[in-house]
Amino acid sequence: MLTLGGALLVANAGAARAGSGDERSSWIPSDALLADLPRLMRIAAVPGLAIAVLQDGRLTWTRGFGVKNIQTGDPVTDETLFEAASMTKPVFAYVAMRLVDEGRLALDRPLVDYRRPDYLANDPLLAKITVRDVLRHSSGLPNWARGPLATIAPPGSGYHYSGEAFVWLQLIVEQVLGMSLDDAMRDRLFGPAGMSRSTFGWDEAVAKAAVYGHDDEAKIPAQPTRALGEKLLPIAKRWGRPIASWRYEDSIRAMREADPATPATTHNLLSNSAGGLLTTVSDYARFMALMMDGRERAGWEISETARRAMLTTQLEVRGPDYARGLGWQLEGPPTARLFEHSGSNYGIFKTLGMGDARKRRGIVIFTNAANGNALAARILREASGIDLLKFLA
């Protein structure tokens, strides 16, 4: 029996091929695909999505489809905020690389030299985890821990995807810069890149602009990010400080104050470098543009050495054609290398982005539903002619 994901991925014979060899002139979805999207969204039970496309290294096309909330029918627009989920990681990695350029971080220096959080276990291997290990997912840490944080494998020994590692590095960035994650991102990236809608905070304007997640029947289940934001807002008002300005210690104190019975953990941080970015497809595409070859870089951007490091194999995952750079997943041979990342928050926000730095192209697809990854794969395939290897892994 064909699954929903399988049904959505079925394409006409010869319509796409694996790898990045497709030479079509544009990744902007065809009129035929756009006309078929309402049907595909209905089949996938995806109420809303947004797409942005980069051509010649710049944002050239963006459009929203469907609704933010199946119950209210509010439309998705270019200003609609989505939970970027794990697509947050490359964005944070970019700012970390700015600090490497500035000499404030060193890729091969252990994290404990900068900061040892009080939630670490008594594990000597923790002292071996470096900044590079975090950004290429070789820290040996679990994705998320229950209890004191300890390694599950020797650092540097192989691929172990870890949100915990990114949050630890977030705490270091906050300490190095003396500001919150949101303030650091705004200062080092969002502001100069024109990503004016992007945030790690929560307030009434964010709540109004953000989509609701939907399950595989297009119903609205619990909304963890929204629920936590609404729980913390009264505390922010009482403190006279917006959530976006909170550092890690502030967030933990506020969560304990809001719900003393529930332990405050790194996983449920609202401002979270592993998956907490709220952004638009246009803003994310502006970020991806910074990865393209042939840019005339502004003074605030990362160096060419740092950009190439992000897009160069740092760790093979399943052979040379499926590897990790710094922040990005890399696919294909060096002569036709793609950079990409996907995301899933709580199973109800699914995101996908892919770029080709040499051809200066990119596409971003954000959805607000459990089956969004299958639909995003279908859109990507028909728009670009590329089958990502990640859907085989």
Torsion angle of C-alpha atoms 119, 121, 127, 133, degrees rounded to 10: -70
First and final C-alpha spacing in the chain: 21
pLDDT tens digits for range 160-218:
999 999 999 999 999 999 999 999 999 999 999 999 999 999 999 999 999 999 999 99
**Has residue 285 been placed in a domain?**
no
**Has residue 273 been placed in a domain?**
no
Confidence (pLDDT) at 30: 96
Instruction: Give me the CATH number covering residue 98.
Output: 3.40.710.10
**Main-chain phi, psi angles of 191, to 5 degrees:** -65, -60
**Has residue 176 been placed in a domain?**
yes
pLDDT above 90 coverage of the chain, percent: 89
**Residue in 43, 80, 83 with CA at minimum distance from that of residue 65:** 80
**Has residue 186 been placed in a domain?**
yes
Rounded Cα distance between 95 and 326, Å, is: 11
pLDDT level of residue 22 (50, 70, 90 thresholds): low
**Has residue 252 been placed in a domain?**
no
Please provide the DSSP assignment of 206-250 as one string: HHHHBPPPB-TTS-----HHHHHHHHHHHHHHHHT--GGG--HHH
**Has residue 379 been placed in a domain?**
no
Total domains in the fold of the chain? 1
**Main-chain phi, psi angles of 163, to 5 degrees:** -75, -35
**Has residue 113 been placed in a domain?**
yes
Look up the domain containing 125 and give its range.
92-193
**Has residue 154 been placed in a domain?**
yes
pTM: 0.94
**Vertex 140: Cα angle to 138 and 142 (nearest 5):** 115
Confidence (pLDDT) at 247: 98
